Amino acid sequence: MESVSHENRKFAPPAAFAENAHIGSMEAYHALYEKSIKDPEAFWAEAAEDLHWFKKWDTVLDASEAPFYKWFSGARTNVCYNCVDRHLEGPNRNKAAILWEGEPGETRMLTYQDVHREVCKFANGLKQLGIKKGDRVAIYLPMVPELALAVLACARIGAVHTVIFAGFSADSIRDRVNDCGAKCVITADGGWRRGRVLPLKNIVDEALVGAETVTDVVIVKRAHGDPFPCHVKEGRDHWYHRLVQDQPIDCPCEEMEAEDMLFLLYTSGTTGKPKGIIHTTAGYMVYTHQTTKYIFDMKPEDVYWCTADVGWVTGHSYIVYGPMQCAATQIIYEGAPDSPDEGRFWDIIEKYRATIFYTAPTAIRAFMKWGDQWPEKHDLSSLRLLGTVGEPINPEAWMWYHKTIGAEKCPIVDTWWQTETGGHMLTPMPGATPTKPGCATVPFFGIEPAILTDDGEAVEAGILAIKQPWPGMLRGIYGDEQRYKDTYWCKWGGKYYFPGDGARRDEDGYVWILGRVDDVVNVSGHRIGTAELESVFVEHKDVAESAVVGVPHEIKGQGLIAFVTVIKGRSHDDQLLKELVSMIDKSIGKFARPERILFSNDLPKTRSGKIMRRLLRDIAEGKKLGNTSTLADPSVVEHLRRQYEES
Ligand code: WTA
């Protein structure tokens, strides 16, 4: 593993921030960290005491069936109770939970009491449709308050939600719904994005042809039938507003066992088939609560804004579950950052006096490109803490964020974690850790990172590994125990969790993430398996073979380059190109479109027939070609390179 970063700048947390922070010094961090590693069970038991339990646990960690770890066995709780009901007793009852703004500009505000009422009515509506504990419910919604309400309503009655990002295609919805056997889909007639309405319900209708398990569809009215009609299928489809209209405003929380499933979230791996990552109740709840409290230094008076979509894990952990357990006041915005103009985010920060802002490096790079005139037009002085998530941030973008948005007074938490980890793993403590541009720095409590070779030898730069289990960890892959073991626990004989990222440790002991070491590419913070695209391409009758690689991209972090070989005698022209692009749109979604598709007669292969992606990456990056001595036919790669440069 090679690292090219020589970043030496270091920024101590501002004294004013540290003074009032939950963790205000590295001494305080080290003391708690030591405790969390030496006696994790005591540490996590104490953390769990902050929350409500119908019944306390018998054991904190049960490793008897590792890697199927169990946390807080014997306990009964409900995550929705901890996000909502727990706040109704005291002053938080009438605190704003959600400050929502639609892309066209309408606003809505829901207090914790409002959220309680709406979630209860929604939960009762779902019950009326026959949804029970353990049933799977798919959610395909724009970023409207009903998205958070739907998630919480499922958690309340013990239904397992699987949120599908509203940029996914009908085929992707169908695959997910079928994989988990969802009974119900919650969607909207449409959602706003860059001044246009996406016809979400129509996409769901298409998806449900061939999805036999779905008996009911709930439709939130957002687009008001404009500009396309929303077909309501008698007996299956229900308008949300009618369903909840006369429901009782109370719905008791299901008492969930600690390891009862909370949600499934599909994410890309190294095969063509996305994995349904399983998260369960108690451990995930405790972990998201703790990380939100410490990493966002969440205080009652904060106005928090995470710009992620609830369709990704960041929205699960750091819009719905973490912040709401902390009784946070948060902004939820429906639309694009450049609608109606490139100042929209800064306008929202100024308007609501946001204090904490959490976004993706891709967005930060786009803001940089749009120019300083946009943030300069707005008063951003309310901000006290900034965060990034989803992909590595380059030092230049970090410095811009620090200066232009943070006015050099806001700590930046660069949080490394994954769908699988449930919550932050490596991240600065905002009031304690001196930060370095582009570095995720130190582990969260209870997390013990290691950097290893393939053989498990500790090295300075290599493959990131996590030594012991933590409460927020995934509990499996839906319907595929073996894939769970093989993917995450086999690499070092079950001793470490394997996240799939490369990392380096510097002289201060900080961990730098170097990007994925597998065939997963991070495009604008969205995980895309190259195998997923390849399997789409080869479905085309004229395509023989395909290899997709990730390359650095100025704004998106990484972009996809596809190499496609066409069956002998078939033509590869603009028509084929168009067809392949539309196949990606249809099978995955527009966000997975490659930057370039290059047709070739052959691909570089080893004598045993394995495609050498490393060489394809060299070509796509315009680098000197690496070792070609193991190739069956070295002329192939030279030819490809010339073709690439000429096209
Ligand atoms: C990458 C998103 C560098 C990493 C929360 C990981 C990061 C994958 C960072 C997970 C970061 C996430 N610095 N890389 N701060 N955060 N990644 O499952 O490669 O969508 O494995 O979870 O994103 O993506 P996922």
Q: Which of 254, 280, 308 is the last residue of a domain?
A: 254
Query: Distance between CA 147 and CA 546 in Å, rounded?
Result: 37
| Distance from Cα 386 to the centre of ligand 1, integer Å | 17
Whether the predicted pLDDT of 238 surpasses 90: yes
**Using 50, 70 and 90 to split pLDDT, how confident is the model at 572?**
confident
In a domain, 227, yes or no: yes
Of all atoms in ligand 1, which is nearest to the CA of residue 526? 20
565 lines ligand 1 (CB under 6 A): no
pLDDT band (50, 70, 90) for residue 447 = very high
Most confident of the following: 40-49, 190-199, 268-277: 40-49
What span, in angstroms and rounded, lies between the C-alpha atoms of 482 and 249?
A: 43
User: How far lies 259's CA from each of 132, 473, 560, in Å?
Assistant: 17, 12, 38
Both tokens of residue 351? 């308007």
CATH number for 557: 3.30.300.30
Using the mean position of ligand 1's atoms as its centre, give its distance from the Cα of residue 387 in Å. Answer: 13
Ligand 1 contact, 416 CB (< 6 A): yes
**Is the CB of 390 inside a 6 Å radius of any atom of ligand 1?**
yes
- Residue 1 predicted with pLDDT over 70: no
Atom of ligand 1 nearest to the CA of 420: 18
User: Ligand 1 atom 12: the closest Cα is on which residue?
Assistant: 390
Read off the pLDDT of residues 294-312 as tens digits, 9 standing for 90 and up: 999 999 999 999 999 999 9
Ligand 1 centre to CA of 392 (Å) is 7
Mean pLDDT of 545-572: 93
Is residue 128 domain-resident? Answer: yes
Residue 133 lies in a domain: yes
Which 8-state DSSP code applies to residue 296?
Answer: T
pLDDT tens per residue across span 408-422: 999 999 999 999 999
- Number of H helices and E strands in the chain, helices first, is 21, 30
HEC letters along 76-97: EECHHHHHCHHHCCCHHHHCEE
Contact yes or no for 511/440 (Cβ under 8 A): yes
CA of residue 418 to ligand 1 center, whole Å: 5
Q: Which of 254, 269, 303 is the last residue of a domain?
A: 254
| C-alpha–C-alpha distance, residues 105 and 341, integer Å | 12
User: Which pLDDT band, with edges at 50, 70 and 90, does 328 fall under?
Assistant: very high
Report yes or no: 637 and 628 within 8 Å, Cβ to Cβ: yes
Report the atom number in ligand 1 closest to the C-alpha of 419: 18
Rounded to the nearest 5 percent, the helix, strand and coil shares of the chain are 30, 25, 45
Question: Ligand 1, atom 8: nearest CA belongs to which residue?
Answer: 418
Smallest CA separation from ligand 1 atom 3, residue: 392
Q: What is the distance in A from the centroid of ligand 1 to the CA of 144?
A: 25
- Percent of the residues in the chain that have a pLDDT greater than 90, as a whole number: 89
Alpha-carbon distance of 19 to 21, in angstroms, equals: 6
The protein residue whose alpha carbon is closest to atom 4 in ligand 1 is 391
Q: Would you state the pLDDT for residue 630?
A: 83
The confidence score (pLDDT) of residue 229 equals: 83
The conformational region for residue 224 under phi > 0 = left, psi -120 to 50 = alpha, else beta, is left
| Of 456, 475, 459, residue with least CA distance to 467 | 456
**Ligand 1 centroid – CA 390 distance (Å):** 4
Q: Is residue 466 part of a domain?
A: no
How close is the Cα of 42 to the center of ligand 1, in Å? 29
Structure confidence at residue 5 (pLDDT): 62
Residue 491 has pLDDT above 80, yes or no: yes
Residue 458 makes CB contacts below 8 A (sequence gap 6+) with 450, 451, 452
pLDDT at 227: 65
* Integer Cα distance of 542 and 559 in angstroms: 25
Q: How many other C-beta atoms lie within 10 A of the C-beta of residue 425?
A: 27
Residue 606 lies inside a defined structural domain of this protein: yes
Of 4-8, 362-366, 524-528, the range with the lowest mean pLDDT is 4-8
Question: What separation in Å is there between the alpha carbon of 399 and the centre of ligand 1?
Answer: 20
CA angle 99, 87, 106 (to 5 degrees): 15
What pLDDT, on a 0 to 100 scale, did the predictor assign at position 570? 87
Over residues 219-241, mean pLDDT: 89
Task: Determine the pLDDT at residue 626.
Answer: 83
Q: Is 392 in the pocket of ligand 1 (CB under 6 A)?
A: yes
What does DSSP assign to residue 177? H
**pLDDT for 3 beyond 80:** no
Q: Kindly report, residue by residue over 375-405, the tens digit of the pLDDT.
A: 999 999 999 999 999 999 999 999 999 999 9
332, 145 contact by CB (below 8 A): yes
For the domain that residue 159 is a member of, what is the CATH number? 3.40.50.980
- 627 vs 207, more confident: 207
* C-beta of 118 in contact with ligand 1 (< 6 A): no
Q: Is any atom of ligand 1 closer than 6 Å to the C-beta of 499?
A: yes
Could you report the per-residue pLDDT of 585-616, keeping only the tens digit for each? 999 999 999 999 999 888 999 888 888 888 99
- Cα torsion angle, 124, 156, 145, 130, sign: negative
Cβ(527) – ligand 1 distance below 6 Å: yes
Q: What is the pLDDT of residue 4?
A: 55
Cα–Cα distance, 569 to 565 (Å, whole number): 11
The per-residue pLDDT for range 88-114, each reduced to its tens digit, is 999 999 999 999 999 999 999 999 999
Q: Does the CB atom of residue 305 touch ligand 1 within 6 A?
A: no
The verdict on the CB of residue 315 being under 6 Å from ligand 1 is: no
Mutate to test the pocket of ligand 1, among 501, 504, 519, 520 (most ligand atoms within 8 A of CB): 501
Tally of structural domains, the chain: 2
Of 254, 279, 295, the one marking the end of a domain is: 254
What are 415's strand-pairing partners? 389
Range 503-506, long-range pairs (CB < 8 A, 24+ positions): 503/1, 503/449, 503/451, 503/461, 503/462, 503/463, 503/464, 504/1, 504/3, 504/451, 504/460, 504/461, 504/462, 505/451, 505/460, 505/461, 506/436, 506/439
Binning pLDDT at 50, 70 and 90, where does residue 266 land? very high
Place of tokens 């539309």: 582
518 CA → ligand 1 middle, Å: 13
Rounded to two decimals, the pTM is 0.95
Q: Is residue 225 part of a domain?
A: yes
Which atom of ligand 1 lies closest to the CA of 388? 15
- Yes or no: say if 526 and 15 are a contact pair by the CB < 8 Å rule: no
Identity of the residue numbered 632: A
User: Tell me, what amino acid is at 333?
Assistant: Y
Better pLDDT: 7 or 496: 496
pLDDT at 607: 86
What integer is the mean pLDDT of 318-322? 98
Q: What is the DSSP code string of 393-406?
A: --HHHHHHIIIIIT
Nearest atom in ligand 1 to the alpha carbon of residue 515 is 19
Amino acid identity for residue 42 in this structure:
A
- Angle (CA) 456 457 460, round 5°: 120
| For residues 512-524, average pLDDT | 92
Q: Tell me what pLDDT residue 404 has.
A: 98
110-159 pLDDT, tens digit per residue, is 999 999 999 999 999 999 999 999 999 999 999 999 999 999 999 999 99
Q: Tell me if 389 CB under 6 Å of ligand 1.
A: yes
Mean of pLDDT values over 557-566: 95
Residue 122, Cα to own-chain centre: how many angstroms?
Answer: 25
User: What is the chain's alpha carbon radius of gyration, rounded to the nearest angstrom?
Assistant: 24
Alpha-carbon span 137 to 162, nearest angstrom: 6
What confidence category does residue 269 fall into, taking pLDDT thresholds of 50, 70 and 90?
A: confident
Position 393 scores a pLDDT of 94
Q: How far is the CA of 4 from the centre of ligand 1 (A)?
A: 19
32 is a domain residue: no
Q: Is residue 471 in contact with ligand 1, taking CB distance under 6 Å?
A: no
C-beta 309 within 6 A of ligand 1: no
Q: Which of 588, 603, 440, 618 is nearest to 523 (CA)?
A: 588
* 571: confidence class by pLDDT, cuts 50, 70, 90: confident
pLDDT at 419: 98
In the sheet that holds 160-163, the strands lie side by side as 237-239, 216-220, 184-188, 136-140, 160-163, 261-267, 275-280, 476-477
Token pair 């229900």 is found at 238
Q: What is the pLDDT of residue 273?
A: 87
Strands 107-111 and 237-239: unpaired
Dist CA 557 CA 438 (whole Å) = 13
Query: Residue 625: its pLDDT value, please?
Result: 86
Examine the pLDDT at 225 and tell me if it is beyond 80. no
427 lines ligand 1 (CB under 6 A): no
- % pLDDT > 70, the chain: 99
Q: Domain of 164?
A: 112-254
Q: Is residue 632 part of a domain?
A: yes
State which amino acid sits at residue 149.
L
Q: Is 290 in the pocket of ligand 1 (CB under 6 A)?
A: no
Task: Tell me which residue has its CA closest to atom 7 in ligand 1.
Answer: 391
- Confirm or reject: Cβ of 117 under 6 Å from ligand 1: no
Burial environment of residue 215 by CB neighbours within 10 A (0 to 12, 13 to 18, 19 or more): middle
pLDDT digits (tens, 9 = 90+) for 43-52: 999 999 999 9
At a CB cut-off of 8 Å and minimum separation 6, what does 303 contact? 99, 329, 330, 331, 352, 353, 354, 355, 356, 382
Q: Which helix (H) or strand (E) holds 484?
A: helix 481-489
The pLDDT of 215-235, averaged and rounded, is 88
